[in-house]
A and B are shown apart, each in its own frame.
Chain A
Amino acid sequence: MQNVYFDLTEELNAEGPIAVLASGQAVVFYRLALMSKDGDWLLRETPDACRRALAVLGRHGARYRPGAPLDVRWLSGGWSSHFEFSDPQGHRIRCDFVSRPPRVSLEEVAALFSPSREPEPMLVVGVEPLIRMKQTQRAKDYPVIGELARLLPPEREVELTTDPDRVLALAPVYGKDSGRLPVRAARSGGSREDVVIELAREADRLQQEDRARIERYRAASDAYLHEVQAARIGDLALPDAHTRICEIAERWLPYNPLETGD
């Protein structure tokens, strides 16, 4: 059996590119680790892409998990949509979608769906945006970033690696213009411990920034999630569930909590 999430990526893109595989399954695609039981995709931010993704999910008997509607009004505000179904072998398949991944620019996302992009058998997010998506509050993502960074050219690896030994090895040649503190520590004759400390400070700052961002979404979604749960959206077939969850979101979920000035 091929990775079910690779199959789903092909199925989602069968009528044209709408979904780019990201996060843990992209790490599997790059052959760095077998990780993550879920599938994550960057969805093209159009109503047609949402309709097509819902149609694919519906064919698999997917149900909504608590999350935002798969609708551009909320996806464009940074919300994520979550689904689940069982495959014929009884495996639990979870599918997560965003259209505005954190720390990735709109231009980079648009480029993923550019008509000028070379046709590829499997649409997978590039290594550098994948690294920035992985700069989350979870400590387990940072060793993965170090491995992903090894796939980059050295002048970019030195800017993104979380491996102190790689910083020490690359900084003398490729870190001349870097403003990154671990690289500057290495170039200024700092010890390995100095580099390790700067990397730890950097990771902690990234984790805190991500947590603060997510907290804004959590605060904005509490009442909404309560309503979604009370409506037992997960018990409804997908077309009905989608209609109902949109109705609830229209009442309870702001399009973009980062713009409310809270």
Chain B
Amino acid sequence: MEMLSEDDLNLKEMTPEELDRAWDLWFTLAQATNDFDPPYTHGVFVLSHLDPEPPPPAEAQADRGDQAAGKK
């Protein structure tokens, strides 16, 4: 009995068009986890840790302050 799993995609048997469609679907679905991906997954920066994001420029901070205060 064949089991339905990723292993049964059998990519080698697909036509180029089928492979493109499979890739397209997989890649679109994979976008759902973008926010959870580590910033580095490849290369020599894979062990690096970034500082917390630096504060935005003063102008943007002022804008945000205005919005928080209900200003337009």
Which residues of A come within 8 Å of B, CB atoms? 1-4, 23, 28, 31-34, 37-38, 40, 65-68, 78-82, 89-92, 96, 98, 137, 211, 214-215, 217-218, 221-222, 225-226, 229-230, 232
Partner pick for A225 among B14, B22, B26, B48, CB 8 A cutoff? B48
Indicate whether B65 reaches chain A with its CB closer than 8 angstroms. no
Task: Assign chain B's interface to a size class.
Answer: 20 to 34
In residues 23-65 of chain B, which contact A (Cβ within 8 Å)? 23-24, 26-28, 30-31, 34, 37, 39-48, 50-51, 53-54
Q: Which of chain A's residues have a CB closer than 8 A to the CB of B31?
A: 37, 90-92
Question: Given A31-B19, A221-B48, A229-B51, are A1 and B41 neighbors across the interface (CB < 8 Å)?
Answer: no
Q: Which of chain A's residues have a CB closer than 8 A to the CB of B28?
A: 89, 91
Contact indicator B50/A225 (Cβ below 8 Å): yes
Interface of B, helix, strand, loop or mixed by DSSP: helix
- Bound together, the chains give a CA A65 to CA B34 distance in angstroms of 15
Which residues of B come within 8 Å of A, CB atoms? 6, 9, 11-12, 14, 19-20, 22-24, 26-28, 30-31, 34, 37, 39-48, 50-51, 53-54
Q: Which of chain A's residues have a CB closer than 8 A to the CB of B40?
A: 66, 82
Kindly provide the distance from the CB of A85 to the nearest chain B CB, expressed in whole angstroms: 13
